[in-house]
Amino acid sequence: MQTRKQFLKSVCTLAAGAAWLPVDSLAGFAMPAPKKSIYFDFHCHPGWSMTERNFVNNPETRLTQTVNDMKQGQLTGGFLALVADAPLIKPGPKGIIITRKYAPGEEWVEYKRQLQRLKEVFSAQSIPFSTDLSGLNAEQSSPFGYLAVEGGDFLDDQLQRLDEAYQDGVRSVQLVHYAPNNIGDLQTAEPTFNGLSSFGKDVVKKMNELGMAIDVAHASFETAKAVASLTKAPILLSHSVLQMEADRPIAVRAISKEHAKVVAETGGVIGAWPSGFNKSFDEYVDNIKRLVDVAGIDHVGIGTDMSANFQPVMTSYTQFPQVAEALKVKGLSSDEVDKIMGGNAKTVLAKIAKSRAK
């Protein structure tokens, strides 16, 4: 493997002063992460197949590669998300299709099934799960995972299930996903509650009480505003991107500048999303910078959606150091890059954990 110094020489030309080759040249290059940096993924599904809506057959083989990639990319940790509405959705030619509704009680059974399976496959890879949101440490010898659930459907209007999920080790719940639920409105469906429902407001308060991270990814702007007005702790928007042209793929999942600022004003963090909304790896890096310009350097992180992303421009955890290097090439300082890659995650998760004691 080339050293960073050797790599920089290979991608730099010396015509009319120093000029960089396109940042996309970094996308396929393996390089070591700098020492004492925290690399964190706010949203991922290792071993998951959106097409199969489940952990893939023989997931251990796929996970072996994922774990190796995490170690090569020097991942510190991430939120590993169950998909609460998985049996209800499937990919279609223009996006996700909602196929049906849950039968009473089915959603909780599905949550428990996925939880058991996730723990089984990660136990086989010796990936430790953490329940301490204050525990991110750059000196960790192995990446670890925090448990998350994408979609609050599994609660089925029963607030006490948050207590049990917390005991299961879940430390983040994304309130909505693709199938409409009784918590709040989402970006990809017509509004029902003009933000949060009454139950959704109770969920926010309960999650604050437990010290769980509230994730407003997929939530409508009105829902995000309602959460921000209620929460006593910073919130997350684990994976999204700032709006650009309306005809871009999955443009409905992009957020406005005002939306981003609502999250930032709680002290929260937005995970920059390397989906097919971006036209290239280079543009993804530019879009991270756009988020920084809008939300502030303390409020941007990385949320890959690995391995359930739509036409991703970042396909492997080995690319984390490449993102960091590309941000430096585009003018960010080492301290700023460290914040984006994981420093902001350490800060915001510690604040969420601390809020539980208040």
Q: Report the range of poorest mean pLDDT among 91-95, 142-146, 214-218, 308-312.
A: 91-95
Percent of all residues in the chain with a pLDDT value above 90, rounded to a whole number: 70
> Which residues are 98's β-sheet partners?
89
- Amino acid in the structure at residue 227: V
Q: For residue 293, how far is the Cα from the chain centroid?
A: 20
Amino acid 320: pLDDT: 95
What is the predicted pLDDT for the residue at 58?
55
Beta bridge partners of 213: 172
Q: Which helix (H) or strand (E) holds 163?
A: helix 161-168
Whether 94 has a pLDDT exceeding 80, the answer reads no
What is the predicted pLDDT for the residue at 250? 93
| Residues in CB range of 58: below 8 A, 6 or more apart | none
Query: 268: alpha, beta or left, given left = phi > 0 and alpha = psi -120 to 50?
Result: beta
Average pLDDT over residues 100-109: 95
The pLDDT, as a whole number, for residue 60 is 60
Q: Distance between CA 273 and CA 279 in Å, rounded?
A: 12
Q: Which pLDDT score is estimated for 271? A: 98
Give the mean pLDDT of 112-137. Answer: 87
pLDDT for 54: 59
Structure confidence at residue 11 as a pLDDT band (50, 70, 90): very low
| Partners of 302 in the β-ladder | 272
Indicate the pTM of the whole model.
Answer: 0.89
Q: Does position 6 have pLDDT exceeding 70, yes or no?
A: no
Q: What is the pLDDT of residues 36-82, one digit of tens each?
A: 689 999 999 887 665 555 555 555 666 677 778 888 898 999 999 99
Kindly state the average pLDDT of the residues 113-137. 86
Alpha carbon distance, N-terminus to C-terminus of the chain: 49
267 vs 15, residue with greater confidence: 267
CA distance 356 to 19: 50
Question: What does the block give as tokens for 303?
Answer: 């949320």
pLDDT at 99 over 90: yes
Mean pLDDT over residues 79-100, rounded?
90
Q: What is the mean pLDDT of residues 309-329?
A: 95
Out of 97-111, 124-138, 234-248, 304-318, pick the least confident. Answer: 124-138
Mean of the per-residue pLDDT values of the chain: 88
Is residue 216's pLDDT more than 80? Answer: yes
Domains observed in the chain = 33-355 (3.20.20.140)
Gap between the Cα atoms of 43 and 20, Å rounded? 31
Q: Which residues contact 93 (CB under 8 A, 6 or more apart)?
A: none
176 neighbors 130 (Cβ within 8 angstroms): no
Kindly tell me if the per-residue pLDDT of 358 is higher than 80.
Answer: no
pLDDT tens per residue, range 226-272: 999 999 999 999 999 999 999 999 999 999 999 999 999 999 999 99
Q: Where do the H-state alpha helices sit in the chain? A: 4-11, 59-72, 106-124, 161-168, 198-210, 221-230, 257-265, 281-295, 320-329, 334-338, 344-355
Mean pLDDT (whole number) for 129-156:
91
Q: What is the 3-state secondary structure (H, E, C) of 229-244?
A: HHCCCCCEEEEECECC
Lowest-confidence pick of 28-37, 100-109, 221-230, 259-268 = 28-37
